[in-house]
Structure 1
Amino acid sequence: MYFYLIIALQAFCIYHVIKHRNPYYWIFLIFFIPLLGSVIYILTQVYNKRDADKITSGITNIINPTKKIRDLEKKLEFSETYQNRVNLADAYLEIGDNEKALKHYKDALEGNFQNDFYVIKNMIEAFTKIEDYKSVVTHAEHIKSHPEFVKSRTQFLYGLALEKEGKLEEAEENLKAIDVRFSFYNERLVYAQFLLNINKKVEAQSILESLISEGQYMTKPNKKIYGATIADAKKLLESL
């Protein structure tokens, strides 16, 4: 149990580093000196009296995600508000229960929030995971004029869904939007494969070369996260 508590503490601290864009050297401290590094990080970067409950809750949710679900269900039962229902849907999406997540997102949208970008964006994630591409396209059509849609993962998922629906020109147009240097590494690898599938070898080769080049300038933490993606890009380029 002690070992799992340390792992949970590390996970919480690393998540906090990334979320709040704190210096990446904290990740090394937390990773290589698990208990002491995590405690130092919390005391210097996170902790104050108001945050104490949040820290405890965050660690508990990592160890036992079903507790978070139960707590949010009780909260919704006590007060059936839009935000409480969305929070519960988010929690279901987080643990991969996409059907229940979609049910609560749909219930939330029945009120006066039919065009809530955040909710529809998360619904598109869930629809993608259950391979309901027609619903991805339908819901994306409702929010594609939103400024946050452009050059986003949601637009990328929309493009993939359009490909599945046989709308290749529209798919390419939307997938191309995420071809932004030093970002969307995984998505751009998928885009390169898409281009190969539609016989656009030169364009695909250009994206793969960019990914490999950018990989040389990544920070060590990013290399850990995206190293496999860059390696796959190299393999795919060598196979052309």
Structure 2
Amino acid sequence: MPFIGLGLHVVVAIFFAVHAMKTGRNLYWLIILFSFPLLGSIVYFLVEYLPHSRLNRGINKAAGAAMKLLDPEREYREASAAYDLTPTAQNKIRLAKAALERGNAQEAVRHYDDALTGPFASDPELLFGLGRSLLAEGSAAAAVRACDVVARLSATHPDYRRDETALLAARAFAGAGRRDEAARAFEHALGTYNNVETRARYIAWLAQQGDTARASTLMEDLQKAARHWSSHARDINREWIALAQGSLKA
């Protein structure tokens, strides 16, 4: 039995050694792993492997969700306090994001507008955040302005979050009632990036426009793709599947 345990330690050390070589870690890890197979593997797992693994990201995501559930106002309070203490552009961006996450789109719009001045007048992160906040506000007037903001973002930073910006443009056109432009923008986003959120939002918009035939076809394609997803992918995209299904049942 001790020999089996010793063999397992070596196998684990070899696994981490291969990982270290493939990911370009420092070569001293090989010495540690093979000199101290058990202890070295534990240290490598905690220092190098876990922080960059999906498991750690899942843990962090779950912890973040739990904190939001227990204290949903925490980030907004901390962002407000940080901005009151040091009113920098970065703290204003943080406050704008926290306001949007809180559901206060109008406040987020105000903070983004305040930050889009001087050297930050064409900052892509600010323009993108402003566009999202305007669409979250929900009015037709805000959507019309979002069209201009997205056009400005695309003109000044054409490579910034291209997939998300393409969808943002489609949503802005849709909210502004520019039906033909919205259809072209959705088709462009679908044909170029084809992510789940784009498909779900397009299905919902088509159903709203009364084009149930096209919406149903896209829904069938989405359901076929969903059969091959992992449980993790299904969890991530649950919101979008529900949006698409709900729009066709309405």
Residue in structure 1 matched with residue 174 of structure 2 by the alignment = 163
Residue in structure 2 matched with residue 141 of structure 1 by the alignment = 151
**Residue 224 (structure 2) aligned to one of 206, 213, 227:** 213
* 1:147-176 deviation per Cα after TM superposition (whole angstroms, max 9, x unaligned): 125322x32232122123332221112111
Task: Output the CA distance in 1 between the equivalents of 2:126 and 2:247.
Answer: 36
Distance change in 2, residues 1:183/1:225 (3 Å):
farther
DSSP 3-state at the match of 2:77: helix
**Residue 89 (structure 1) aligned to one of 96, 104, 108:** 96
Say what the alpha-carbon RMSD is for the aligned residues.
3.6
Give the gaps of 5 or more residues in structure 1.
1-40, 48-54
* 1:129-153 deviation per Cα after TM superposition (whole angstroms, max 9, x unaligned): 111211211211211232125322x
**Residue 188 (structure 1) aligned to one of 194, 199, 204:** 199
Task: Output the CA distance in 2 between the equivalents of 1:228 and 1:191.
Answer: 14
1:118 aligns with 2:128: no
Distance change in 2, residues 1:80/1:172 (3 Å):
same
Percent of residue pairs identical? 20
Q: What TM-score do the two structures reach when normalised by structure 2? A: 0.61
Whether the 8 Å contact between 1:61 and 1:68 is mirrored in structure 2 is no
Task: Output the CA distance in 2 between the equivalents of 1:231 and 1:72.
Answer: 32
**Residue 111 (structure 2) aligned to one of 84, 104, 108:** 104
**Residue 45 (structure 1) aligned to one of 47, 50, 62:** 50
Q: What TM-score do the two structures reach when normalised by structure 1? A: 0.63
The CA deviation at 1:103 is: 1.6
**Residue 223 (structure 1) aligned to one of 223, 234, 238:** 234
Q: Which has the higher helix share?
A: 2
Residue in structure 2 matched with residue 15 of structure 1 by the alignment = none
Whether the 8 Å contact between 2:206 and 2:214 is mirrored in structure 1 is yes
Residue in structure 2 matched with residue 174 of structure 1 by the alignment = 185
Task: Output the CA distance in 2 between the equivalents of 1:235 and 1:91.
Answer: 28
Distance change in 2, residues 1:96/1:230 (3 Å):
closer
DSSP 3-state at the match of 1:178: helix
Whether the 8 Å contact between 1:150 and 1:177 is mirrored in structure 2 is no
Specify the structure having the higher radius of gyration (Cα).
2
Distance change in 2, residues 1:70/1:46 (3 Å):
same
